[in-house]
Amino acid sequence: MDVIIYHNPACGTSRTALGLIRESGIEPHVVEYLRTPPTRVLLVHLLARSQMTVRDLLREKGTPYGELGLGDPSIPDAALLDAMMAHPILINRPLVVSPLGVKLCRPAALVRDILPPVVG
């Protein structure tokens, strides 16, 4: 079963989502996205698969969101993506990828929506 979690071990919600995946019988591929951020192309692909906007994935709390002025609604998506590439902490987490889709799992229990049943 190919499940990927873009994870921050310092985040309680991310740790809970990871635990729920493992409790379901799946050992996911864990990407600590602050150490190994997704490329811009991958991030755009994940956004498209999740049907989220760039703003939907933009994290405010505990990030340079305010100091970068990213709350301005006139900032284009390309500039928001630039900021996410420069500051991966701006990418909200946990983002989970499975054969059933891509979902920002906040709250963590949302991960259950995209976990395929484990056979055997």
pLDDT tens per residue, range 22-47: 999 999 999 999 999 999 999 999 99
Sequence letter at residue 101: G
Say yes or no to pLDDT of 1 above 70: no
Q: What is the pLDDT of residue 55?
A: 97
Domain 4-114 carries which CATH code?
Answer: 3.40.30.10
Whole-model pTM?
A: 0.94
Catalytic hit among 3, 5, 11, 114: 11
What separation in angstroms does the CA of 118 have from each of 22, 23, 102?
A: 11, 11, 18
Is 11 labeled as catalytic in the residue annotation?
Answer: yes
Q: In this prediction, what percent of the chain has a pLDDT beyond 70?
A: 98
Residues 66-94: pLDDT tens digits?
999 999 999 999 999 999 999 999 999 99
